[in-house]
A and B are shown apart, each in its own frame.
Chain A
Amino acid sequence: MTASQSRRPGLTERLLDVHNLKVHFQVSDRTIRAVDGVDFHVRPAECVGIVGESGSGKSTLVRAVSRLMPNLRINELSGDLRFEGRHILEMSERDLRALRRSHGFSMIFQDPLGYLNPTHRVGRQIAEALSPQGKGRPDGQRVHSLLQEVGFSDPKSVAHSFPHELSGGMRQRVMIAIALASDPKLLFADEPTTALDATVQLQVLQTLYRIHKERNMAVVIITHDLGVVAELCDRVYVMQTGKVVETADTVDLFERPKHSYSARLIELSAHRVDFRSAAP
């Protein structure tokens, strides 16, 4: 399939289609089956949640798809991964870079401070994402409009700040602005609000949702917080020990969970358990 064909995807078409993905790591003398035969897809302009606890393979899944693998010995990395019909695993580094740079996919992470350069001003780092090879003059206008899009009313002063001068929520907004610089069709968000306070989390998620709708950009949110999924996602995948144990529309999952693990997670996150009843 050529790129021009996939410019106008139908509703049923899949932006990202993953079939039987396996990622096995070699750690000392053991094989860790981090992702073990996962089927997964994302339609254009859809918001998909991946939930699971630590070690369930949710981050590894997304990193394999975006080809950002950790520096570990990989025993097996196989599966049929297609983005707009193109095989991701067989793509050359050059094509992959082009995809990341424009109209492909971007990613934001849990800890923005770990991904921002502490010695450069925020504006420069966003400009860098706009023209990654440092060619041409930094486009101040576009930097400002990106900062405005992620909810800063005063983009000029933010662009002039260093990361440490911003709060956690502001840094995550800056990360989103950087991710949006490539005008992606798909945004992976790996625990985007886990490190934030509840009130700030709500604001950042509202911003993320607004951008998702305004840009018709597909979003994949990895989280362990079912509240995030309930508020944002159209569909959910529940992962446990490297496998998808349940996938459903969000409302169906919450109201009629089929797998006992999903039901348990929902029960716990609703805090329907009262531990005081055990007390004297």
Chain B
Amino acid sequence: MKPQILSLEGVSQIYASRGSKGWRREYVHAVDGVDLDIREGETLAIVGESGSGKSTLAKMLLMLNNPTKGNVTYRGTRLKSLGAVERSQYRRQVQAVFQDPASSLNPRMTVEQTLSHVANRHNIVAKADLGRFLKEQLAAVGLNPPEQYLGRYPHQLSGGQQQRIAIARAIMLKPKIIIADEPLSSLDVSVQAQILQLLSELRKTTNVGFVIISHDLGAMQSIADRTAVMYKGRVVEIGRAIYQSPVHPYTRLLLDARLLPNPRGNRIRSPVPKQVTPTALSASTGGCRFLQRCPYAIEVCAAVDPQLQTMDGEATQVACHRAKELSAALTPA
């Protein structure tokens, strides 16, 4: 197994906000005690609904936010303890690609300016070689011929081309890992496929690792080595085969909610009423946070918050009290 590059230990991010009623502060646990290991060169997908804390997690990995509790460790060093020089090195080795390329590129800078700005900032290439270097970078992300693109402004590029520039900007620093926050969701399906293709090629040629945050399980299934499912600030399931054999009820719910391009599926046309009996149990005293939506809730779920536990024989971890029963029920022996 490859060495781990980034690891999170009990990481929490708590945002304070003015309460909806009155002036009392309310605290939102955006990320609430996440343990996660990211290995070198692997592609880890983080999926979940909006508000599950995926983007907050990405911000902490990028050092844009400091965790309220817990530690993020990069190759054995805590991010909190990094000095200014080390921090700059960290930022060079951990790069970002964001959801909306139009707003993550400076509209007043040409492609050449955007890229050379980063190249100069990190001193990665001699001034004399800069032109050639930039052309190589553009060619590497599939923008051919590169001369055509250097002088353009972001608004003169299509969404897919903009996202390629954003990827070029990240990859040119030869990072160890790229954190991509919803890199596909503002793109068309055919362009999404091209970007996924590009990411997997880059992975092969540069051995860079990816943390891809997405709500599109289908796209992640086609690229991720491992997938972590987040719900209300927690990782509820993580593993390699969550698409084929999901265990956690929430993972199943997400997979069931996908609209498949099968016109004979008839799920909306003649929906089978799901056997979800709203549970009378309440998790006011720290039970499972999925309790209210869970069709399998039992008493222990209302009392004890489930921790991630390894399923035997597989590299899957699930935070559910009934994980063993559920996975046994799923695969008839």
Q: Which residues of A contact B (CB under 8 A)?
A: 53-54, 168, 197-202, 205-206, 209, 224-232, 250-251, 253-255, 264-266, 268-271, 273-276, 278-280
Contact = CB atoms under 8 A, between A and B. Distances in A.
Interface stretch (B57-65, B95-103, B142-150, B262-270): B262-270
B155 to A, nearest CB: 13
Nearest to A226: B261
B222 A225 contact: no
A266 B159 CA distance: 21
A275 B49 CA distance: 24
Contact of A273 (B188, B193, B224): B193
A49 B87 CA distance: 51
B257 A264 contact: no
B219 interface: yes
A275 B215 contact: no
A225 B264 contact: no
A251 B263 contact: yes
Contact of A274 (B191, B207, B222, B261): B222
A97 to B, nearest CB: 33
A227 B258 CA distance: 8
Contacts of B257: 198-199, 201-202
In the complex, which of the residues A197, A206, A251, A271 has the most CB atoms of chain B within 10 Å of its own CB atom?
Answer: A271
B201 interface: yes
Interface band, chain B:
35 or more
Contact of B190 (A168, A198, A265): A265
A225 B189 CA distance: 8
Given A268-B193, A273-B193, A197 B263 contact: no
A265 B50 contact: no
B268 A275 contact: no
A199 B258 CA distance: 8
Given A199-B254, A206-B271, A227 B260 contact: yes
A197 B47 CA distance: 11
Interface of B: 43, 49-50, 159, 188-193, 196-197, 199-201, 203-204, 207, 215, 217-219, 221-225, 253-254, 257-269, 271
Contact of A209 (B201, B253, B269): B269
A264 B193 CA distance: 11
Nearest to B258: A198
Contacts of A250: 263
Contact of A224 (B159, B189, B259): B189
B197 A269 contact: no
A280 B204 contact: yes
Contacts of B49: 197-200
B159 A265 contact: no
A106 to B, nearest CB: 21
A275 B263 contact: no
Contacts of B258: 198, 227
A53 B188 contact: yes
A228 B217 CA distance: 16
A231 B259 contact: yes
Contacts of A54: 159, 188
Contacts of B266: 231
A230 B261 contact: yes
B268 A198 contact: no
Contacts of A254: 261-263
Counting from the closest, the 7 A-B pairs by CB-CB distance are A227-B259, A53-B188, A198-B257, A275-B200, A271-B218, A197-B49, A199-B257
